[in-house]
Amino acid sequence: MNKTVLITGATSGLGYDFVKLFANDGYNLVLVARSTQKMEEIKQTFKNIKVTIITKDLTRVGAAKEVYEEIEKQGIFIDVLVNNAGYGLMGEFDKLDLQAQVNMIQLNVTALTELTYYFLPKMKEKNSGRILNVASTAAFQPGPLMAVYYATKAYVLSFSEALVEELYNHSITVTTLCPGATKTNFGSVASVEGTKMFSRAMSSESVAKEGYIGLLKGKRVIITGNFNKMGAISAKFLPRSLAAKVAKYVAGEK
């Protein structure tokens, strides 16, 4: 019997690359995104597996619970949960739209937390499951000009690593994927494509593949790319004030 993976933000970027990787390995898919049309197109692409579509905007309060209830109603067990959906914004905190930043927290933090909360008990019952939470190298230091985004990703990393220890006696893995700049539509949404941080952007396919392989191996944290690994390690040893200055520098234009 095929295992089932739930992927949020499934219609583009890393989400769609994860879709292809799991589908090629025979997983049934539960796709969660805002665009029904794009998910229907994906469903037509992978006719040899079961594809379930759930149209939800996870920036809306209560949407994560609705996703869980729909899956429960259909009697689907989620073997793998991929909390991929998220976005960022570039600019000074008090000059960016407040609601857009609150929505970012709702998506990057609250929806991820709620989905993990709802699906984890069934995994515990079966003593089987995998969770992949997509964070960022932004998780390792403060991020001036992307203050809320960096803070949300620091939460994802801390939350996920804590769960690893809580689940030590269960056959459930929690993996945090920490990519650096990646060539997806994130760059255009966040308005960071012209910054120094994007000068070494990795392809979405390569990031997703590293994440997928690491997830199946049960790795705790995956930092993609040697340059990003060096940056994350360096951030651990720098004073927080200096790490923030470096982050602000790379957020500047090329």
Task: State in Å, rounded, how far the first CA of the chain is from the last one.
Answer: 51
Distance CA(218)–CA(78), nearest Å, equals: 17
Nearest of 170, 173, 68, 164 to residue 124 by alpha carbon:
170
Annotated catalytic residue within 27, 118, 149, 150:
149
Distance CA(47)–CA(182), nearest Å, equals: 29
Q: What are the residues facing 177 on neighbouring strands?
A: 134, 222
| CB 191, CB 146: distance < 8 Å | no
Measured in degrees and rounded to the nearest 5, phi and psi for residue 34 equal -85, -25
Residue 248 a catalytic site member: no
Distance CA(71)–CA(52), nearest Å, equals: 9
Annotated catalytic residue within 27, 68, 118, 153:
153
| CB 108, CB 87: distance < 8 Å | yes
Residue 149 a catalytic site member: yes
| CB 11, CB 39: distance < 8 Å | yes
| CB 197, CB 25: distance < 8 Å | no
Tokens of 199: 């000068």
Which residue numbers are catalytic?
149, 153
